[in-house]
Structure 1
Amino acid sequence: MMVSCSDDGDKVTTKESILNIKSESNHNLTQVGFSELIHNKDLTWSSFDNPSKDGWDSEHFANKAQDQLSVITNIIKGTDPTTDIKPVTEKVLFTTIRPESLDLVYSDKNFQVHRQNAKPLNINKGAELFLKNLNNSEISTSEEIQVKFKIIDVELSKNEFKSTQLYSVSFRTKESITDERSVWEITWDVNQKKELKISSLNVIDYERTIRKSSEKLFSDCTESIFSGNSSYKEQLSKGVNEWLEKLPAYAMLNRFGTPGMAIGDINGDGLEDLYLCQEPGIPNKLFLQNKNGTLRDVSKEWKVDWLEDSRSALLVDLDNDGDRDLVVAMYGNIVIAVNEGNKIGYEIVSVIPTSESTSSLSAADYDLDGKLDIYVCCYAPNKSSDAVAVQPMGATARRFVYHDDNNGPENFLLKNETDSGKTISFRNVTDETSINTNNRRWSFAASWEDFDIDGDPDLYVANDYGRNNLYRNDGGTFKDVAAELGVEDSASGMSVTWADYDLDGRQDLYVSNMFSAAGSRITSQKEFKPDADLGTRKRFGRFTRGNTLFRNTSEGFIDTSENAGVTMGRWAWGSRFVDLNNDGWQDLVVANGYLSAADNSTGDL
């Protein structure tokens, strides 16, 4: 059973199990039985997803517990028309679900944050009082409500089942928006019919955040900014599901729906412009910003409406002439186009062969010669989706070490050797700079930063399926010091961002991974990989924890993720440090989700 995954709190899934359904439906597929499911209409998903049949009684009861938590969810939301108290025993013991004795830990003109203090909560008894605690009119009568439970740990004995779950509720009234989060420790009574009822509940780590206005912090202005262009309705307003059914998909990354973007002032008017990469067969887009904040499509006029599969882009000055040139990672190549300045438009000056699945680009002057160099991240091995000889992708492939794979494609470091005549050119210096060490991972993202404050930029690379890299720049050559400094963060790395979050003068590091409630439950059970050593089991368990915050100190890095409360970013594709409220402290924004339900029932985003 594969576990490093995001989930809806109930079932286990992976990127690969989703992606391989269509690509392998006409081939022998024995790993999870998708082929049989597709071709036999009498079979149901429950025929395959049967934890009890597979010997996972703990997961069987976790599913039953989730059903009861759904009943509790309806009571909290006020959508249960009855006073049915099926989820609990008559003599249930429980602490207060919404504690009132809280400490104020943060306050400004927009927010107040209160947290549970060390004072013990009162113990309450009885089903009727429990129901009263759940049925809070402030929540149930609010205008918008979202309630979610994620079971993250379970323990099964003969007549008792224990579960630990993350609980969150958000609701909006006419005066405010409230977000409450806590951890519920539940003991379930198991009767002779194997039915579950809560016999005790302990609430810990309660936190309440109140937005002192019912207005949202951000407004979606996409349509108002783009709608003056026909390409908005015809192209940009459609999602990846639309294009996957119509367009060829060459590389594994096409199924992820992650074409990149770049922002920069390309025409020197002081306004930031936008370049959008697109899926194969759909033209890339370049938008100039108007003075009123709207955007106009100049893709064709500027000669950059390329149809090739594009994953990432940079708008940077490569020839030091004062305007921004364009770098685009395409299927198998890096395209470099010079900004022609007064001529209005870009001209392709170089096409550099790379991997079929180039995932991202980052630029810095690593050798301090005054010219920007480029680091190229690559994800999957070439021909991983060759139509002639279909191969399983990622963790479903043979000889794949899920928790520590080292058979991915090479990343590249390209040195800028633009001459005095302004002819842009690059040379591959991956080997000669020693940045080829540990360079066969599945890389999603990289970011440059002078973490050791010695005057040159160092590089952190976030890798899927295992260890990350921190390449320390030693005067133009590199050494991977990730293990030495404790920042390998062996998990499903998908993005990286730097900032001095504690204001000590050193740049700290935040890495986006995947949080999985189901994975967290499973990897802690004795049934999971019983023949593996403890170290390997812990490595798998680490995949489920989520995002990581590393504090940079004079002695190296310290993992402060759990103390800071920043691990649960769900299926986190990207993150950024940013000072949202202009108070001088760096906040975190995490972009998450994948193929979410139309009603956003997963709570992502």
Structure 2
Amino acid sequence: WTVRGLWAQSVGQKPAAIRCFAEAALRDPNQRIAQYQLGQLLSEANQRKDGEKFAERAVRLQRLAALMSEVSLNSTNTEAMREASDVLEQLGRYWEAFGWCGLILTIDPSQQATRTRMQALHQRLHPELPLTDPKLNPAHELNVSTFPLPTWPKSNPSLKPIVSEEVSQSIRFVDRTAEMGIDFTYFNSDDPSTEGTRMYEFAGGGVGVLDYDRDGYPDLYLTQGCPWPPTQESATHQDKLFRNLGDGRFVDVTTQSGLGDGWFSQGVAVGDYDSDGYPDLYIANIGKNRLYRNRGDGTFEDATLEANLTGTEWTTSCLLADLDGDNNPDLYDVNYLKGDDLFDRLCLIGGKLRTCVPGVFDSERDRLHVNSGQGPFREITGEQATFLEPARAGLGIVAADIQRIGRLDLFVANDVVANAFLINESSPQSGGLAMRENALLSGLAFDRDGRAQACMGVAADDVDGNGLLDFFVTNYYEESDALYLQKTPGIFEESARTTGLYQDSYRLLGFGTQFLDADLDGWVDLVVANGHLDDFTYMNIPHRMPPQLF
């Protein structure tokens, strides 16, 4: 039934897809694909309350899978086992919830709360109780018969992929970096004497393109790392600004421009936060971020203190855009992880010390700073910031008017947890910035199968030419990259399999990515930069990986 549902969905028979996925959910209420797809399809069909029930179950199934991964890495992790038991109870899987309590007590008999809970669960068990309590299966509340079965083609259809398999002979790139005067290598403070890659070493830096002197030629800002630990601002490793001379050459003007952040920089955002007509720079750092104001005379000044930006988290990406519609660009910090041993800890993987998976650390909460245009920024907190919860290990961000109503929405790519899709509901009546999380029901939270991925880089463009913005997201090794096609405003379908991207990206690990029309045929092409976090070649996993052009 799930396969039938996926087929019906792919050919536009959405009511039939609902029927098929519902039939699958009736037979197996723990089938994650059916639950996730029903959440989106029912919401799109104006049955939002029904859709929310399936989406909520899909989230719990995804969380359970993540907890099982944690237990597989540490078989004595009783905290993960306890949460797994809680999630299983919420799913109506009382037999398993009871079993996990028993395993916890085998490891640690002193956990009296677990013993009490186990006794309460035992009261629910009886020989006729199935693996999953039917009362907690939302498919039983759905009138399946109101949805049609698929209409099958009379003959075998010839499925046409959206992308051509032909290799263009007209696309050829030439490395002219040195010739154009751009001399730069990112420094991640790798320690050759230490086995394994520490967490801060993997991300690399960002690139900002801006015409800082308004001469009509785009200039380049490249962020840089610094010696670890960053106890003081580095004088030897600094961000760089390269001015475009307009004749095919760039020149380093970092010192003359007053720039050169010497902390451990990650991403960068470009925007005119003070609305004076000149592009400013916002730098994401491990530690305190930095805001540079463009004076308009070819130089910048550090406006971080003046703007009241005090955060010290690990910010991987950042955004400078007007989110509340008052014509004053605001700041969004995409934050990653936190923990006392975050930057020192290595994990034993396959018998060797290597970089840890992010799940062993706590996620860091994002920050949003509102610009009133009349002084310091104001951080959104409390009830107004509920859309920033929970903390979610972010790596990439895009702002776009997805709803097509003149307000910027946000897509945030997160690592091994659900992505965020923040719908902008700001208005004069809302009294300021108002956003609502909608990734689950929009189809952007997980991959097609309802699984959270290690989402990293994000590219945005109209891939299929329907006038709606689509998102491409790079992911981890043996996950495949994801392509979210926006079929109707605000509703996306993850389409890596149907567009030829799944197989070619499955055994690679993607980082940076960008859409561009490389052959100038009017259709966007795609560039992906790949490479692994650490050296796992002893496990027959490639380390250095080639970039790709689609």
**TM-score, length-scaled by structure 2:** 0.58
- Tell me how far 1:222 sits from its aligned partner: 0.9
Higher fraction of helix:
2
Cα deviation, 1:292-335, whole Å, max 9, x if unaligned, reads: 12111111122212221111222321111111112112232121
Letter in 2 for 1:347: E
Matched with 2:476 is 514
Q: Of 296, 299, 311, which residue of structure 2 is paired with 1:354?
A: 311
Letter in 1 for 2:488: T
**CA distance in 1 between partners of 2:458 and 2:514 (Å):** 8
Q: Is the 8 A contact 1:403 1:466 kept in 2?
A: no
**CA distance in 1 between partners of 2:362 and 2:544 (Å):** 36
**CA distance in 1 between partners of 2:164 and 2:490 (Å):** 33
Q: Is the 8 A contact 1:240 1:257 kept in 2?
A: no
Matched with 2:467 is 505
2:225 equivalent to 1:287? no
- Tell me how far 1:578 sits from its aligned partner: 2.2
Q: Structure 1's 456 and 497: CA in aligned 2 closer, same or farther, altered over 3 A? A: same
Q: Of 492, 495, 499, which residue of structure 2 is paired with 1:564?
A: 499
Q: Of 508, 512, 515, which residue of structure 2 is paired with 1:577?
A: 515
2:400 equivalent to 1:449? yes
- Tell me how far 1:392 sits from its aligned partner: 5.6
Q: Of 467, 486, 496, which residue of structure 2 is paired with 1:551?
A: 486
Q: Structure 1's 565 and 549: CA in aligned 2 closer, same or farther, altered over 3 A? A: farther
Cα deviation, 1:203-253, whole Å, max 9, x if unaligned, reads: xxx98634446xx611011111126xxxx3xxx2x5657x413899xx965
What is the 5 A alignment of 1:100-249?
A: 209-212=166-169, 217-226=172-181, 232=183, 236=184, 238=185, 240=187, 243-245=189-191
Letter in 1 for 2:304: S
Cα deviation, 1:79-124, whole Å, max 9, x if unaligned, reads: xxxxxxxxxxxxxxxxxxxxxxxxxxxxxxxxxxxxxx999xxxxx
Q: Structure 1's 347 and 302: CA in aligned 2 closer, same or farther, altered over 3 A? A: same
Q: Structure 1's 471 and 277: CA in aligned 2 closer, same or farther, altered over 3 A? A: same
Q: Is the 8 A contact 2:529 2:546 kept in 1?
A: no
Cα deviation, 1:447-503, whole Å, max 9, x if unaligned, reads: 111112122111111001121111111123111111112211221110222222222
Q: Of 264, 269, 272, which residue of structure 1 is paired with 2:215?
A: 269
- Tell me how far 1:430 sits from its aligned partner: 4.7
2:236 equivalent to 1:301? no
Higher fraction of strand:
1
Q: Structure 1's 356 and 391: CA in aligned 2 closer, same or farther, altered over 3 A? A: farther
**CA distance in 2 between partners of 1:314 and 1:377 (Å):** 11
Matched with 1:470 is 421
**CA distance in 1 between partners of 2:487 and 2:225 (Å):** 38
Cα deviation, 1:337-390, whole Å, max 9, x if unaligned, reads: 211222x32111224222431100112211111111111101111434366xx5
Q: Structure 1 segments of 4 or more deviating over 4 A?
A: 238-241, 390-394, 401-406, 599-605
2:285 equivalent to 1:327? no
Letter in 2 for 1:462: A
Matched with 1:337 is 292
Q: Is the 8 A contact 2:285 2:316 kept in 1?
A: no
Q: Is the 8 A contact 1:277 1:284 kept in 2?
A: yes
Matched with 1:258 is 204
Three-state SS of the structure 2 residue aligned to 1:484 is: helix
Q: Is the 8 A contact 1:355 1:378 kept in 2?
A: no
**CA distance in 2 between partners of 1:366 and 1:319 (Å):** 15
Three-state SS of the structure 2 residue aligned to 1:434 is: helix
Matched with 1:440 is 391
- Tell me how far 1:554 sits from its aligned partner: 4.8
Q: Is the 8 A contact 2:223 2:240 kept in 1?
A: yes
Three-state SS of the structure 2 residue aligned to 1:583 is: coil
**CA distance in 2 between partners of 1:392 and 1:554 (Å):** 43
**CA distance in 2 between partners of 1:411 and 1:259 (Å):** 19
**CA distance in 2 between partners of 1:555 and 1:457 (Å):** 13
Q: Is the 8 A contact 1:363 1:448 kept in 2?
A: no
Q: Is the 8 A contact 1:362 1:374 kept in 2?
A: yes
Letter in 2 for 1:574: G
Three-state SS of the structure 1 residue aligned to 2:492 is: strand
Three-state SS of the structure 1 residue aligned to 2:362 is: coil
Letter in 2 for 1:319: D
**CA distance in 1 between partners of 2:476 and 2:191 (Å):** 27
**CA distance in 2 between partners of 1:274 and 1:291 (Å):** 13
Q: Structure 1's 300 and 434: CA in aligned 2 closer, same or farther, altered over 3 A? A: same
**CA distance in 1 between partners of 2:193 and 2:395 (Å):** 23
Cα deviation, 1:4-40, whole Å, max 9, x if unaligned, reads: xxxxxxxxxxxxxxxxxxxxxxxxxx979xxxxxxxx
Q: Is the 8 A contact 1:278 1:310 kept in 2?
A: yes
Three-state SS of the structure 2 residue aligned to 1:483 is: helix
Matched with 2:457 is 495
Letter in 1 for 2:222: L
**CA distance in 2 between partners of 1:404 and 1:267 (Å):** 43
Three-state SS of the structure 2 residue aligned to 1:356 is: coil
**CA distance in 1 between partners of 2:193 and 2:225 (Å):** 8
Three-state SS of the structure 2 residue aligned to 1:341 is: coil
Q: Is the 8 A contact 1:486 1:557 kept in 2?
A: yes
**CA distance in 2 between partners of 1:245 and 1:252 (Å):** 9
Matched with 2:328 is 371
Letter in 2 for 1:492: A
**CA distance in 1 between partners of 2:525 and 2:164 (Å):** 18
| Identical columns (%) | 25
Letter in 1 for 2:497: E
Q: Structure 1's 269 and 592: CA in aligned 2 closer, same or farther, altered over 3 A? A: same
What is the 5 A alignment of 1:390-469?
A: 390=345, 407-419=362-374, 425-434=376-385, 436-469=387-420
Letter in 1 for 2:530: N
Q: Structure 1's 252 and 324: CA in aligned 2 closer, same or farther, altered over 3 A? A: farther
Three-state SS of the structure 2 residue aligned to 1:444 is: strand
Three-state SS of the structure 2 residue aligned to 1:305 is: coil
**CA distance in 2 between partners of 1:393 and 1:442 (Å):** 22
Unaligned runs of 5+ in 2: 1-72, 76-155, 227-233, 427-432, 447-451
**CA distance in 2 between partners of 1:359 and 1:303 (Å):** 23
Q: Is the 8 A contact 1:405 1:465 kept in 2?
A: no
Cα deviation, 1:29-87, whole Å, max 9, x if unaligned, reads: x979xxxxxxxxxxxxxxxxxxxxxxxxxxxxxxxxxxxxxxxxxxxxxxxxxxxxxxx
Matched with 1:479 is 436
**CA distance in 1 between partners of 2:415 and 2:223 (Å):** 22
Q: Is the 8 A contact 1:355 1:409 kept in 2?
A: no
Matched with 2:524 is 586
Q: Structure 1's 247 and 287: CA in aligned 2 closer, same or farther, altered over 3 A? A: farther
**TM-score, length-scaled by structure 1:** 0.53
Q: Structure 1's 405 and 558: CA in aligned 2 closer, same or farther, altered over 3 A? A: farther
Three-state SS of the structure 2 residue aligned to 1:209 is: coil
Letter in 1 for 2:319: S
Letter in 2 for 1:332: G
Equivalent residue pairs, number: 354
**CA distance in 2 between partners of 1:220 and 1:339 (Å):** 31
- Tell me how far 1:418 sits from its aligned partner: 2.4
**CA distance in 1 between partners of 2:284 and 2:299 (Å):** 19
